[in-house]
A and B are shown apart, each in its own frame.
Chain A
Amino acid sequence: MLEFWFFIEVVLNGMFAGTMYSLIALGFVLIFKASGVFNFAQGFMVLFAALCFVGFLEMGVPLILALVIAAAIMVAWAFAVERFVLRHLVNQEPIILFMATIGIAFFLEGFGELLWGADVHPLDIGIPDGAWFVGPDGVMMVQQFDVAAAVIAGGLVAVLALFFTYTRIGRALRAVADDHQAALSVGIPLNQIWIIVWAVAGLVALVAGIIWGSRLGVQFSLSILALKALPVLILGGFTSVPGAIVGGLIIGVGEKVAEIYLGPYIGGGIEEWFAYVVAMLFLLYRPQGLFGDKIIERV
């Protein structure tokens, strides 16, 4: 019985980790859907947003104000990216745009560290840090922090879903995602849409950065974590918001279960690559991911 509860605990932990991956993956999906750009800089946007937020907090700015300023910076950043990069690269091949986002990532990394320094910044915004003990005799431990993070992530996804479904801008975004040219021809301004999408992705990055940052401290490795979001992405499909969530959960659970039950047999540390191999094997059966748009190819 004890083992069963332990298994549940592992699965739950995996799901919590998965929601955190989903948060980062969400930013990728938003930008990929609206502009077809595979935005490598998303991880660095997470780092940059968190650095700005924690930087203002350390200067003594109140929490809410710091949040607003950091959000404003991410929106300004979206404007800058559109004005100086995307606008000049319209109609280029995807690989060129991908490359440009790697350039943006380098720039952002240097810029963030130039402004706020390269040290690890601890971040505490008052998310409860205790643990609940559930089950018979409290054999199972649930971190309150994980639950809070999952709730925030879930709330964010719900807000985004409502935004996409019911607002005018959301409809425009979905139209652009469907077909660039058709969207242009009915009068949707593509440039504005890009700004909005990058701004929303920036805000998602800010939330992800705050949650990840309060767990690990705001530091360079946050940007590496974004690589963990890639298997989540391909598992769920590049173009699907629900895919990012479900993919995140699958990867999170799979990773934790594999590490605990498989790890001892083939040497630890398999968390590093397990997600990628799972995603790769899965793609062999469904090349467009779980919820991705069906790939139709014509000559």
Chain B
Amino acid sequence: MFYREAGIYKTSYAADQALFRIPLDRIFVISVVLFAALVIPVIGNEYWLGSILIPTLIMAIATIGLNILLGYCGQLSLGTGAFMAAGAFLGYKIATAFPWMPIWAVVILGGLSAALIGVAFGLPSLRIKGFYLAVTTLAAQFFLLWLFQKVPWFVNYSIAGVPTAPPREMFGYLVTGAEATVEARYLFILAFTVVLALIAANLVRGRIGRTWMAIRDMDIAAELIGIKPLPTKLSAFAVSSFYCGVAGVLWSFCYINTVEATAFDIFRSFSVLFMVIIGGLGSILGCFLGAFFIFLLPIFLNSAPGWVGLEVPTELISHLEFMVFGALIVFFLIVEPHGLARLWAITKEKLRLWPFPY
């Protein structure tokens, strides 16, 4: 009743091809972004902004990256963590080699260098497919992390091997490093998230996104209708690694405030994969839902016994947390293999008719 397409007339091609064709959708998305940008920094406290929203938004960027590769182009990668690390370390090199460079340019250049590395490790995808490809991306994961840990050049020969993120300003406010206020860091990350999500949403519905999807659905058939696998697959790897690289720079510059390889280990790759699949393969909205779900679930499981007044020893909780987490993932896959984004779509279908049955 409230959400419907009937009565919305599109009188131009531009209106028909708009990103949000239904005014309600547009209003909803804009108001969510405005709420996140204007209201949350005011009402949020140090813990919510710094420990929950900032990492979740950064992970959402990485999730969009993997979703482009896996959900849209069908190439399974377990090397997400390594591409994030590439962004973080090369971003750090760029930031310290060119101290005058504005921080947004550093983030983008970090992402671009991760994209280059991603293309290099994407080359085998032209011959190797499916799970074989997944295991070869593990080569990227282990090799790159080893490289960043072994070669002191990447950390400017810092003695401890774990340099702190350089403090940088934007519009006169400190946005990176430990001294930056949590609000400034949050807004800086939010800006990147919104812009990158918009770009991704437009990429995947344009020509390039359609070629990705053709390759995903069946690469041989796609080749027969004239889609070149080489540029298509490599562009997916490039764009995906760019997003992961940007997420990596932000993760080490604005969240953990140090540049270290251990933050991007294989379990980081797996958690991003979780977010993509739980959120929904091939959905930008799903990336955000998945990132929030996977990031908040352990926190919720951790504190839920406390809310209902149960006294459980912490060790037991951490074991139970793993069990419940695993069981919930299996449960979700059984109930809705297409992820949270699909649940959202079903909800919209229902809303269209509500409160009438037909």
Contact = CB atoms under 8 A, between A and B. Distances in A.
B231 to A, nearest CB: 19
Given A114-B316, A269-B150, A104 B326 contact: yes
B322 A110 contact: yes
Q: Which of B146, B150, B266 has the most CB of A within 10 A?
A: B146
Main secondary structure of the interface of B (DSSP, over half): helix
A250 to B, nearest CB: 15
Interface residues of A, number: 50
B18 interface: no
B29 interface: no
A85 B334 contact: yes
Contacts, number: 136
A297 B218 CA distance: 10
A104 B132 contact: no
A276 B135 contact: yes
Nearest to B222: A299
Interface string A228-256: 00110110001000000000000000000
B3 interface: no
B131 interface: yes
Main secondary structure of the interface of A (DSSP, over half): helix
A279 B136 contact: yes
Contact of A270 (B146, B221, B334): B146
B322 A107 contact: yes
B330 A114 contact: no
A285 B245 CA distance: 30
Contacts of A114: 316, 319-320, 323
A110 B330 CA distance: 14
Interface stretch (B4-12, B87-95, B121-129, B195-203): B121-129
Interface stretch (B102-110, B137-145, B163-171): B137-145
Contacts of B221: 299
Query: How many B residues touch the partner, as a band?
Result: 35 or more
Q: Which of B266, B321, B326 has the most CB of A within 10 A?
A: B326
A84 B135 CA distance: 28
A273 B220 contact: no
Interface of B: 70, 76, 124, 127-132, 135-136, 138-139, 142-143, 146, 150-151, 218, 220-221, 224, 266, 270, 273-274, 277, 281, 315-316, 319-330, 333-334, 337
Given A106-B326, A277-B143, A280-B124, 4 more contacts: A95-B281, A99-B277, A104-B330, A287-B132
Interface of A: 38, 84-85, 88-89, 92-96, 98-100, 102-111, 113-114, 118, 227, 230-231, 233-234, 238, 267, 269-270, 272-273, 276-277, 279-280, 283-284, 287-289, 295, 297-299
